[in-house]
């Protein structure tokens, strides 16, 4: 096993609490704010952030789920994966500040696709980005507003985020590409 743990469950929890504070601070409140989790693991992360915000602000911010599959460009094709669950935005995005939530920020193409998708639903006032891990190697001019942990990586490495809701446990691992058995 060449995998190495880089975030424990507690570290994830603390990072999310910090991000939840930052989001509200940056926005100056919770009015006209919504979180949009990118399928798959961005969704439970967004839900947890909403719960954290509710705890310290007493307000529940709406959470949506976004499937960006139909907006990918060719270069980000990934081999066989479970089929995704779809898009559900239970709010009108017009005039809102949307915070895109995802687990890992890498080339930036997913976020670009997410922005394209959101634009098809309406005209948000602003779009921000919160990620658990930023691993570098951006191919597009995209920057996260809120980062759980910066992890410099090489292209031969892969980041695996485990979340209770999806994987049964909470942790983040880094491993060598090709050493994996199950795809993340």
Partner 1 sequence: MSLSADPQAPPISSGAEPATDALVDRGWRHRHLLDVAGLDEPDLDLVMRTADEMRGILARPIPKVPALRGISVTILFYEASTRTRVSFEVAAKNLSADVVNIAAASSSVAKGESLIDTVRTVEALGADVLVMRHGRSGASDLAARVFSGHVVNGGDGWHAHPTQALLDLYTLRDHLPDGDLHGRKIVIVGDILHSRVARSNIWSLTTAGADLWLCGPATLLRGFEPLAAALPASRRLTVTTSIDAALAGADAVMALRLQQERMSGGLLPSLREYAARYQLNAARMVGAAPDAIVLHPGPMNEGVEIASDLAAGGRSVITEQVANGVAVRMAVLYLLTGGRTTETADG
Is-contact 89 64, C-beta < 8 A? yes
Q: Are strands 157-162 and 171-176 parallel, antiparallel or unpaired?
A: antiparallel
Residue range at the interface with partner 1 (CB under 8 A); choices 8-16, 19-27, 82-90: 82-90
Closer Cβ to partner 1, 18 or 51, answer by number = 51
Pairing of the two strands 126-134 and 97-105: parallel
Binding mask 40-59 for partner 1 (x = CB under 8 A): x--xx-xxx-xx--x-----
Q: CA 4, CA 76: separation in Å to the nearest integer?
A: 25
Q: Which of 23, 33, 49, 103 binds partner 1 (CB under 8 A)?
A: 103
Give me the helices (H) in the chain, please: 9-27, 42-57, 109-121, 164-167
Mask for 1-40, x = binds partner 1 (CB under 8 A): ------------------------------------xxxx
Residue from 80, 152, 156, 169 touching partner 1 (CB under 8 A): that is 80
Which window, 4-12, 14-22, 25-33, 101-109, contacts partner 1 (CB under 8 A)? 101-109
179 sits near partner 1 (criterion: CB under 8 A): no
Distance CA 89, CA 119 (A): 12
């Amino acid at each position: 096993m060449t995998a190495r743990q880089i975030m424990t469950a507690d570290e994830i929890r603390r990072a999310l609490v910090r991000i939840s504070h930052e989001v509200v601070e940056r926005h100056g409140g919770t009015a006209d704010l919504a979180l949009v989790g990118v399928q798959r693991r961005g969704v439970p992360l967004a839900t947890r952030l909403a719960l954290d915000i509710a705890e310290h602000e007493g307000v529940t911010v709406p959470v949506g789920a976004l499937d960006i599959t139909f907006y990918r460009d060719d270069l980000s094709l990934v081999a066989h994966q479970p089929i995704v669950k779809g898009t559900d935005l239970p709010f009108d995005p017009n005039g809102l500040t949307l915070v895109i939530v995802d687990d890992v920020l890498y080339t930036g193409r997913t976020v670009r696709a997410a922005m394209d998708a959101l634009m098809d639903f309406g005209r948000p006032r602003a779009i921000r980005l919160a990620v658990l891990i930023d691993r570098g190697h951006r191919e597009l001019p995209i920057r996260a507003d809120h980062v759980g942990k910066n992890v410099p990586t090489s292209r031969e490495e892969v980041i695996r985020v485990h979340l209770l809701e999806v994987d049964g446990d909470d942790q983040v691992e880094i491993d060598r590409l090709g050493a994996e058995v199950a795809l993340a």
